[in-house]
Structure 1
Amino acid sequence: MSPASDIILGLDVGTTAAKASLFSLDGDVRLTVSREYPLLNPQPGWHIQDPDAIARGVLEAMREAVARIDAGRVIGISISTAMHGLIGLDASLRPVTELLTWADSRAWAQAEILNEHSTGPRLHYTSGTPTHPMSPLVKLRWFRDTHPDLLAGTAHWIGLKDWILVVLTGQVATELSTASGSGMLDMEARTWNPEAIELTGIRPDQLPPIRNTTDILPLAPATAATLGLPAGLPVVLGAGDGPLGNLGTGAMEPGKAGLSIGTSGAVRMVVRTPAVVSGLFCYALTSDVWVAGGAVSNGGMVQRWLTETYAPGADDAEACRRGAMIPPGSDGLLMIPYLVAERASLWDSEIRGAFLHVRQAHTPDHFLRAGVEGVAYQLWTILRRLRMINRVEEVRATGGVFRSQLWRDVVAGVLNRPLIVTGAAEGSGLGAAILGAQALGVVDTLQDGYDLLRGDSSETRIVVSDAAREVYETMHYEVPRILQRYGRLGADFR
């Protein structure tokens, strides 16, 4: 078997699905198998998942993908996962809590207390993670305040990436990227921050060791047998889905921002040294490549809700076609798209969603388009802050919503930048495979890995009409004032 026929498995474990993607070095294999699992909402503000359900989804997706090819061609596995999750494990590495996802906002009171003083901002600038209920640090504060015995008695507090590593390798470890999204990292020292540990009330030994994103662990024998792969196969620790999304879309140069929209959404830009801007995050891809930007909690989930609410019986594609018949600006209708606690750039865990400026003439199709525009405006607030780091000349986008022309046109128009929709639907999974290629010694640089594995993925450049640009540029001035007024109004009802 020639090296050109070797295959890297890029595993992307997201909020609602695990995707196992195979990439051959010669381009003859490029396939993805997906398995879904539920995101549960047992109480207002709680957004949790069953760690075992995620593990089953991961293993099933990987097993089916491997079954479609000669398993002997697979030279390694590399992992991407959603960030900011928190799971407690006992000494036998079994979960003692659910996975508290990034969307879980139960710890809003703990976040507010930290942010009332200098502690919250200081933790943000030290770790790169805003002090917000999504942060594992703040989640641990919630356990400290509500379940102190559980906090102290749990052997390991880990993230989603770390749980997948336990499932695949049987070992407890984390890597720099996941650690940078925990709120507990000292970015400069690349170690756990003693102040953060003290604030959570845990012991240092309850946290996993921080390793490089390119480090390798062996695939455990029992898991290997389940997957049909050889025991000891290299498992590259990988990174968070956000930084890997930039890598997978080719947004790795100054002036190029990466945009991804799945259940949530994010706009990010690569920086060579950690750079923290108010309202934005800064997470690691490798020890010398960092990604600054912001994530919105309300991305593709807004489209799903819009379809279910305003186009019952239709699918998302049909709902988008209907919304596209409405002119830009939705005839004045505006959606404040906060269906769950919002993150960048407001970082307001209690703000609620709303439709504003409703008139009798507005139809369900107006609401469909206004929802898409609302998400795009929220992404624009992030892009505006990124300009404090570097000018954004181009936005490279990935995500299932961009199959819709409505999403393409609206996002390009609102962001008012050239929008390049990449054909690499695998997104973070491709980024994981590229990082894996470097870790396995297949390529010398990440750019070489991108050139090798991206294949013949198509790219589409979206051109915005002058009429649409004029409408959206007017809203650039109006939306911040509307959000400010709405935020003050909402505070009166909390």
Structure 2
Amino acid sequence: MADPRRPLVIGVDIGTTSTKAVAYDVDGVQLAHHSVGYPLDEPQPGYAEQDARHIYAAVLESVRTVVAETPPSIAGLSFSTAMHSLIGLDPDGHPLTPSLTWADARASRQAERLRAAPSGLALHRRTGTPVHPMAPLPKLLWFAEQEPALFGRVAYWVGIKDWVLLRLCDALVTDHSVASATGLMDLRQLSWDEEALGVAGITAAQLPELVPTTTVLPGLTAEAAAATGLPRDTPVVVGAGDGPLANLGLGAVAPGVMACTVGTSGAMRVMVEHPAVDPLGGVFCYALTERRWVVGGAINNGGIVLDWVGEALAPELGDHAEEELLAVAARAPVGSGGLIMLPYLLNERAPHWSALPRGAYVGLTTGHRRPHLVRAALEGVCQQLALVLASVRAAGNEVLEIRASGGFARSPLWRQMLADVLGMPVRFPAGHEGSGFGAALLGMQALGLIPSVDVAADLVRIEQTARPAPAAAATYAALLPLFSELYEALAPTFASLRRLAPGLSPD
């Protein structure tokens, strides 16, 4: 049991579909948590946007609820946020645009054009952010080209956490971690990149002040204090992006320890001491603290693939039939009888970073049945993660251990499949709330409550380890090169399909 007299920090995790506030003491004991959801609007194909006011209201409600359920020993708030969001503000800080999320692909053509330019790979290497429609840089190009009048009215361009902090603390700042995912910040100089700003058609004065992730803002506005139930002088730690903080939440802080998270989407990240991107641009590099960076890659298609499979191949199982669907997959052999699925239902990010690809089944025969199709979809997600792992290693990073979390981890089948496909043991920690716990730990370090976020490795308990079965691992190792080759082989087809069915892709 936690000691109610000990200081605690509330980690606030601003996610794509909900905000969760979680209170922890310095031993990592969770005292209270509350989550508030909000919609993700898709008014056109490829659009994925939100009303920033709904998210701010969710932050206030989640924090207020946790404050009411915890002792009056709150040392501060600390923030995590989904990365790559973009909002245009007027001179008074009011939104002129929705909050465009990482999943918004309206800037696909701008990203492709910029990626194909001679400066595209150089921008990626310098900023650490792949040239992809997820990133704010191509989104800014889209606004300049498609909404020039609106673009000209915007005084400031910010991310969702930046705007929340502006409302909470009356401070227009962005942390190095979030900024490193915009495509606009020079990783090594920790300053806005002049060439990237020129490409985007904006100035540094239109962006928030860059600050370290451990920056402590002195307190809340009177309105925010009243809405949360906290004293006005409550310290607020600026925090970081949810990806790097997920590594903290899993205790993956030592060199060579990789964090793998699979929810609707997925990602693999390893911490390094210096910023670096591989020569081919297959991975990202985002900041956490001065001596901690994460190198890795995200995939668009994680648990969403299982959702689609259920709707398309087993609709009679209903909306909450994950266990039954996984049982169907378990009836097919390892390798799905030579059937490969490219799981690119929502295009894809790492390691190709392209909005062109679409999903495909390759190798279908009359011998294949529903179990093969379901299992091949799950295997495809794991194989895509294996490509990300290979890219992280190609960037010169040693991976000695993998720690995984996310909704998929509830399934013994999927746990074992991931270990078999990656060809190495995967360890599953117990209990913690990932990025929210990471935010709380970062806040504790910033407030001097713990010596370093290194304590994360000791606070996270490993609950289970999945070890690769030799025969299955050998099958997947043989299939992985074929899976990888299919992307390049089908790239021209993907491009042709988009031209033939433009209504299914963003312009």
Q: CA 1:273–1:201 in structure 2 vs 1: closer, same or farther (change >3 Å)?
A: same
Aligned to 1:317: 323
- Of 432, 441, 445, which residue of structure 2 is paired with 1:434? 441
Q: CA 1:271–1:29 in structure 2 vs 1: closer, same or farther (change >3 Å)?
A: closer
Aligned to 1:15: 16
TM-score under structure 2 normalisation? 0.92
Aligned to 1:411: 418
Q: CA 1:411–1:109 in structure 2 vs 1: closer, same or farther (change >3 Å)?
A: same
Aligned to 1:253: 254
1:91 maps onto 2:96 in alignment: no
Letter in 2 for 1:393: L
TM-score under structure 1 normalisation? 0.95
Aligned to 2:264: 263
Aligned to 2:505: none
Once the 2 structures are TM-superposed, how far is the Cα of residue 65 of structure 1 from its aligned partner? 2.2
Is contact 1:221-1:232 (8 Å) kept?
Answer: no
1:178 maps onto 2:181 in alignment: no
Letter in 1 for 2:128: G
1:483 maps onto 2:487 in alignment: yes
Question: 1:373 aligns to what SS in structure 2?
Answer: helix
How far, CA to CA, are the matches of 2:36 and 2:9 in structure 1? 19
Is contact 2:251-2:456 (8 Å) kept?
Answer: no
How far, CA to CA, are the matches of 1:43 and 1:154 in structure 2? 23
Identify unmatched segments of 5+ residues in structure 1: none
How far, CA to CA, are the matches of 1:406 and 1:30 in structure 2? 32
Is contact 2:35-2:62 (8 Å) kept?
Answer: yes
Aligned to 2:504: none
Is contact 2:112-2:354 (8 Å) kept?
Answer: no
How far, CA to CA, are the matches of 2:144 and 2:487 in structure 1? 34
Q: CA 1:29–1:391 in structure 2 vs 1: closer, same or farther (change >3 Å)?
A: closer
How far, CA to CA, are the matches of 1:445 and 1:348 in structure 2? 37
Is contact 1:239-1:285 (8 Å) kept?
Answer: yes
1:344 maps onto 2:347 in alignment: no
Aligned to 2:475: 471
Once the 2 structures are TM-superposed, how far is the Cα of residue 450 of structure 1 from its aligned partner? 5.0
Once the 2 structures are TM-superposed, how far is the Cα of residue 89 of structure 1 from its aligned partner? 1.4
Aligned to 1:304: 307
- Of 280, 285, 288, which residue of structure 1 is paired with 2:283? 280
How far, CA to CA, are the matches of 1:492 and 1:449 in structure 2? 48
Q: CA 1:324–1:487 in structure 2 vs 1: closer, same or farther (change >3 Å)?
A: same
Count of residue pairs brought into register by the alignment: 490
State how 1:224-263 maps to structure 2 within 5 Å: 224-263=225-264
1:53 maps onto 2:59 in alignment: no
Once the 2 structures are TM-superposed, how far is the Cα of residue 191 of structure 1 from its aligned partner? 0.5
Letter in 1 for 2:195: E
Once the 2 structures are TM-superposed, how far is the Cα of residue 12 of structure 1 from its aligned partner? 1.2
Once the 2 structures are TM-superposed, how far is the Cα of residue 58 of structure 1 from its aligned partner? 2.3
Is contact 2:253-2:457 (8 Å) kept?
Answer: no
Once the 2 structures are TM-superposed, how far is the Cα of residue 360 of structure 1 from its aligned partner? 3.6
State how 1:110-259 maps to structure 2 within 5 Å: 110-217=110-217, 218-259=219-260
Letter in 2 for 1:193: D
CA-atom RMSD in angstroms? 1.9
Q: 469-478 or 354-363, which moves further after superposition?
A: 354-363
Is contact 1:394-1:418 (8 Å) kept?
Answer: yes
Q: CA 1:261–1:485 in structure 2 vs 1: closer, same or farther (change >3 Å)?
A: same
How far, CA to CA, are the matches of 1:2 and 1:395 in structure 2? 33
Q: CA 1:139–1:490 in structure 2 vs 1: closer, same or farther (change >3 Å)?
A: same
Letter in 1 for 2:165: L
Aligned to 2:407: 400
